Amino acid sequence: MTIAELVAEATAQPVGLSADECLKCNVCTTVCPVARVTDLFPGPKYVGPQAQRFRLGTTLSPGSGGLSVVPSPDRTVDYCSGCGLCTSACPADVKIAEMNNRARAAARSGHRPRFRDWLLGQTDLTGRLGVLAAPLANWSLHNRLIRMLIDRLIRIDRRAPLPRFSRRTLRSRLGRYRRSAWSADAPPPDRAVVYFHGCAANYYEPHVGQAAIDVLERNGFTVIVPPQVCCGLPLISNGLYGQARSRARQNLDVLAGYARAGYRIVGSSTSCTHTLKAEYREMLDIDDADARAVAGATWDICEFLLDLHEQGRLDTRFGTLDRTLPYHAPCQLRSHGIGLPALDLFELVPGLRAIDMDHDCCGIAGTYGLKSEKYDIAMAVGAPLFERIRTSGAGQAACDSETCRWQIASATEANLVHPVEILAEAYAAGDPPNPAPPTRP
Amino acid sequence: MARADVAVVGAGLAGLTAAIHLAQAGARVQVLATGHAATHWAPGGMDVGATPGARSAQEAVDHLARLDGHPYRFLAGGLPAALAWLRSLLDAEGINLVGGLADPLRAIPTAIGSTRLAAILPDGMAAALPPWAPGETLVVCGPAGFREFWPDAIAASLRRGSSWRGQAGPSRVEALTVELPGLAGRHNLSSLDLARSFDDPDWRLLALDTIARAIEGRVTGPGRLALPAVLGLTDHPAVLAAARARLPLAPFEVALVPPSVPGLRLFAALRATLRRHGGRIQVGEAVHGRLGETGRVELRAPAAAREFVLSAGALILATGGIAGGGIVAEQSGGLVETVLGLAVEGPPVGARLLDDPFDPAGHPLESAGIRTDTHLRPVAPGAPDSPLAANVRIAGSLLAGQRYLRERCGDGVAIASGRLAALELLGPGPVGAARAVAAAVGGTAQR
């Protein structure tokens, strides 16, 4: 391979090569929530662009056959929670969090994955089994003795917030007409959207999915809910890129047809929508026409509703919700780069006083805070947020990501809701008292 | 597409100064920035000017204001008001700026054992400012295991009279390395780790006690204590009060390599003020934009899968100069302004930029920037009186004609231009009208 070819290949991998832009200014370290609370993680600069030199140095040597990420020279990369705040703060646009994620995956490749990490990646499987045996599963996963055993055996912390399985999936509650794969006889794209519910709304929080569907329908959209699997993010976070690619492929096969036909794909889990938008390309190197079409068509639900509003198309007949509502913007939402659309939408609800908690991270970062060796770190990261929510005196708080909601709810005992649940409630409050009953199951 | 009255690109001192002024006047302001930088890199004082021979900051400003093409030519007049505004803002956030424009420029120690000239500093650093009395001792004290502050090397250099820029230094300089509690065995001890440790009320008492006892055994008589700038991140006023109460010598912080803890405090104070007045700040992606046909500015930032689009009635560009990323040099040698692609005034294409990067006159790239009229509107090269757009203003280090590293005028230009840019947009144009708006803004603040 010639130097020119090496360079061409290098520039096609913006994540790894962006280390070259690093000025070593340590701005990333100032925003890292993990380095803030523990010495086990020295900060994004050290394990990211600094260590990257050694990874790339090895692979740029002549005859290496091109560039690939080799194992991290620093094992502390495992303590990166992947929140992505470093990438946002970097003045030189270095893709620090993405670099760390790849390095972690490379460090694990070639080894059999830890059973715990494998299990945490299988949200489809655990979800299906859990719903089948919901009463038993919920009892055992909230039984102290069993949790201690799980902690000992596979190192999922006994105190970590695990959600409760719903007795029925969201999909089973929906009519058959909603489940079709791509078909040409769907209503036109300006009157229909595709809903990506993700695992959380399907297996644990069908009421969130229902609220999302209700709000979309309220605004005149037919909601199409095609077959779908886990977006793959839990697998990506646990370094299981191969499995994640196969999930991505299954989703793309179904969603790409809609995307090409001009349908927008709306999701209520902000981490799933971010995965569809960005991680298939940035993490999994899936950069074909299907992936690009789906990425371009995907919208986070609050982003979608705010866009409707900016076009003057959002139904704003919200009833009054007279309350103070603490709001936490999840890290994954911030990675979208779309601002904080939920706060803009809350401004449309009379009486609602939403307060941005303005805290970096709740700590959970997907499955990070569930792990025994990281539970205390995750709780320390979120501690100031928990304190702010507790002292706000509000019994309810809003957040766009399910794992953050579970973490905050478990730490504060507040009732955590998705912003779209608030909007559904506000629509219901604005309706004449009699007919349509509220949509909460 | 999001909308704002004014978009400010850049979240350094100039951008935030402008944004806060606008938000205080009730405008809907959106700050966009690629990342954090200027405040996190800077020492955290207020460098308004320091030129050879100038005895006070004001003398340096006056000197610079006479230079052809220097932004102080039209900004110097607004500097006192900008400084007074910033002083009262920071005061409300627990940061007191000590010293003023009329005060003498004093040689203060740096973390490499040299000195630099300063007149206006946050109170954590201010004990370095008063003249050294005969017989005074300077103790340079740092924690063991901290790689960014070496007391022995700093003291050795500061013992040389030539380090003090012709001013009288301390009679004696002592180095002191202390083992602070609980830090032994911590690798990668950073300024942030130390600052956060000092935020802990229990730890700081132990640490200050350790430092105090180490000094008491070694130094008698009057003196001062140089400490690395790590005296608390979120609880700095309390840390400083505790340090003054417990330590036998007057302590002052010495700025370190980035990330700058005093700079982080400054940024936090500005950001909190902006948000309190309803201004928004979004940090993460490089912004580019264009002037729309409708008189609005359209800004775009890459976001996941789609661009984030913001339509604004006006734009303030405060993206920094060549160091801040507001200007980049292309391989051809040409200079490009990164947001609107404005024409950059600077060394011509093909200039030999690497001939002498340490030329005492300053590097040619240092003064590169956007040329504006006196209302901070960008103008084309050679057409100083025809602004390119009525609703665009330039602020901070992006302004052409300053050599902020040599002249140490960066903070002064930032606050004066940030303020003027905001007032220009609030008023119908000329400075006279802007003054009327300034009065109105003051009225809003008092209400």
CATH at residue A386 = 3.40.50
Which of B410, B413, B402 shows the shortest CA–CA distance to B362? B402
Residue B391: pLDDT over 80: yes
Q: Does A355 touch chain B (CB under 8 A)?
A: no
Do the Cβ atoms of A335 and B304 come within 8 Å?
yes
Rounded CA-CA distance B313/B298 in Å is: 9
Rounded CA-CA distance A363/A81 in Å is: 8
A residues 271..300 contacting B (CB < 8 A): 274, 276-278, 295-296, 298
**Number of domain units in chain A:** 2
Q: Does A312 touch chain B (CB under 8 A)?
A: no
**Are B337 and B434 in a shared domain?**
yes
Domain ends where: B198, B230, B254?
B254
Residue B316: pLDDT over 60: yes
**Are B345 and B394 in a shared domain?**
yes
Average pLDDT over residues B103-126: 97
Write out the DSSP string of B223-254: EEEEEES-S-SSSHHHHHHHHHHH-SSEEEEE
Q: Does B331 touch chain A (CB under 8 A)?
A: no
**Are B148 and B86 in a shared domain?**
no
Q: Tell me which residue in B2, B34, B308 faces A93 most closely, judged by beta carbons.
A: B34
pLDDT band at A433 (very low <50, low <70, confident <90, very high): confident
Residue A38: inside a domain: yes
Residue B107: inside a domain: no
Residue A329: pLDDT over 90: yes
Which residues in chain A are contacts of B282 at CB distance < 8 A?
Answer: 337, 339
- Structure confidence at residue B195 (pLDDT): 97
Domain ends where: A73, A108, A143?
A108
Average pLDDT over residues A323-339: 95
Give the CATH number, domain containing residue B165: 3.40.50
Half-sphere exposure of A327 (CA within 13 A, CB side): 23
Do the Cβ atoms of B305 and A298 come within 8 Å?
yes
A-chain residue closest to B320, CA distance: A91
Residue A384: inside a domain: yes
B-chain residue closest to A28, CA distance: B36
Encoded amino acid at B252, one letter:
F
Domain ends where: B198, B227, B254?
B254
Distances (CA, A) of A53 to A44, A85, A109, B265: 14, 21, 20, 32
Which residues in chain B are contacts of A384 at CB distance < 8 A?
Answer: none
Write out the DSSP string of A359-385: -S--S-TTTGGGBTTTHHHHHHHHHHH
- Does A18 or B408 have the greater pLDDT score? B408
Per DSSP, what are the bridge partners of residue B298? B290, B311
B-chain residue closest to A343, CA distance: B280
Cβ atoms of A86 and A50 closer than 8 Å: no
Residue B259: inside a domain: no
Q: Is the sign of the CA dihedral A422, A335, A230, A276 positive or negative?
A: positive
Residue A18: inside a domain: yes
Rounded CA-CA distance B370/B71 in Å is: 10
Which residues in chain B are contacts of A35 at CB distance < 8 A?
Answer: 192
pLDDT band at B82 (very low <50, low <70, confident <90, very high): very high
Q: Would strands B297-302 and B307-317 be described as parallel, antiparallel, or unpaired?
A: antiparallel
- Does B356 or A354 have the greater pLDDT score? A354
Residue A14: inside a domain: yes
Residue B209: pLDDT over 80: yes
Looking at CA atoms only, how far is residue A78 from chain B in angstroms? 17
Encoded amino acid at B301, one letter:
A
- Does A9 or A413 have the greater pLDDT score? A413
Residue A61: pLDDT over 50: no
At residue B6, φ and ψ (nearest 5 deg) are -135, 135
Residue A241: pLDDT over 60: yes
**Are B381 and B433 in a shared domain?**
yes
Domain range holding A381?
Answer: 323-430
At residue B123, φ and ψ (nearest 5 deg) are -65, -20
- Structure confidence at residue A177 (pLDDT): 60
Q: Does A93 touch chain B (CB under 8 A)?
A: yes
Distances (CA, A) of A65 to A58, A60, B57: 11, 8, 59
Looking at CA atoms only, how far is residue B203 from chain A in angstroms? 15
CB atoms within 10 A of CB A64: 13
**Are B180 and B249 in a shared domain?**
yes
pLDDT band at A6 (very low <50, low <70, confident <90, very high): very low
Residue A13: pLDDT over 80: no
- Structure confidence at residue B362 (pLDDT): 75
Write out the DSSP string of B189-223: --HHHHHHHHHSHHHHHHHHHHHHHHHHTT--SSE
Cβ atoms of B51 and B60 closer than 8 Å: yes
Domain ends where: A108, A137, A166?
A108
Cβ atoms of A342 and A127 closer than 8 Å: no
Residue B210: inside a domain: yes
Residue A409: inside a domain: yes
Strand order across the B223-228 sheet:
B172-178, B137-143, B223-228, B250-254
> Would you mind telling me the total number of residues written for chain B in this entry?
447
Q: Tell me which residue in B3, B196, B305 faces A295 most closely, judged by beta carbons.
A: B305
- Does B295 or A6 have the greater pLDDT score? B295
Average pLDDT over residues B89-118: 96
String of b and e for A401-424 (b: at least 16 CB within 10 Å)? bbbbbbbbbbbbebebbbbbbbbb
Do the Cβ atoms of B304 and A274 come within 8 Å?
yes
**Are B88 and B131 in a shared domain?**
no
Looking at CA atoms only, how far is residue B361 from chain A in angstroms? 25
CB atoms within 10 A of CB B49: 31
Q: Would strands A192-196 and A264-267 be described as parallel, antiparallel, or unpaired?
A: parallel
Mutate to test the interface with A, among B192, B256, B260, B285 (most CBs of A within 10 A): B192
Where are the extended beta strands (E) located within A92-221? 192-196
- Structure confidence at residue A11 (pLDDT): 43
- Structure confidence at residue B442 (pLDDT): 39
Residue B194: inside a domain: yes
Mutate to test the interface with B, among A7, A18, A21, A27 (most CBs of B within 10 A): A27
**Number of domain units in chain B:** 2
Domain ends where: A108, A124, A156?
A108
**Are B420 and B308 in a shared domain?**
yes
**Are B309 and B421 in a shared domain?**
yes
- Structure confidence at residue B384 (pLDDT): 85
**Are B304 and B404 in a shared domain?**
yes
Domain range holding B227?
Answer: 126-254
Which residues in chain A are contacts of B302 at CB distance < 8 A?
Answer: 337
ipTM above 0.95, yes or no: no
Encoded amino acid at A246, one letter:
S
- Structure confidence at residue A66 (pLDDT): 47
Half-sphere exposure of A306 (CA within 13 A, CB side): 21
Do the Cβ atoms of A89 and B283 come within 8 Å?
yes
Which residues in chain B are contacts of A298 at CB distance < 8 A?
Answer: 305
Do the Cβ atoms of A43 and B305 come within 8 Å?
no
B-chain residue closest to A338, CA distance: B308
Per-residue pLDDT reduced to its tens digit, B212-233? 999 997 888 899 999 999 999 9
3-state helix, strand, coil in chain B (%, to 5): 35, 20, 45
Mutate to test the interface with B, among A75, A88, A255 (most CBs of B within 10 A): A88
Cβ atoms of B318 and B15 closer than 8 Å: yes
Per DSSP, what are the bridge partners of residue B297? B291, B312
Distances (CA, A) of B129 to A223, B51, B105, B118, B166: 68, 17, 8, 8, 15
pLDDT band at A109 (very low <50, low <70, confident <90, very high): confident
Which residues in chain A are contacts of B264 at CB distance < 8 A?
Answer: 30
B-chain residue closest to A298, CA distance: B305
Longest Cα pair distance anywhere in chain B, in angstroms?
Answer: 73
**Are B239 and B312 in a shared domain?**
no
Q: Tell me which residue in B259, B302, B303 faces A26 most closely, judged by beta carbons.
A: B259
Average pLDDT over residues B124-153: 96
Which residues in chain B are contacts of A339 at CB distance < 8 A?
Answer: 2, 280, 282, 308
Residue A268: inside a domain: no
pLDDT band at A289 (very low <50, low <70, confident <90, very high): very high
- Structure confidence at residue A10 (pLDDT): 44
Distances (CA, A) of A194 to A187, A247, B306: 11, 18, 18
Residue A77: inside a domain: yes
Do the Cβ atoms of B259 and A29 come within 8 Å?
yes
Residue B438: pLDDT over 60: no
**Are B76 and B134 in a shared domain?**
no
Which residues in chain A are contacts of B304 at CB distance < 8 A?
Answer: 274, 277-278, 295, 335-338
What is the percent of chain B with per-residue pLDDT over 90, rounded to a whole number?
Answer: 77
The vertex-A374 CA angle with A368 and A334, nearest 5°, equals: 40
A-chain residue closest to B3, CA distance: A310
Give the CATH number, domain containing residue A45: 1.10.1060
Rounded CA-CA distance B328/B302 in Å is: 18
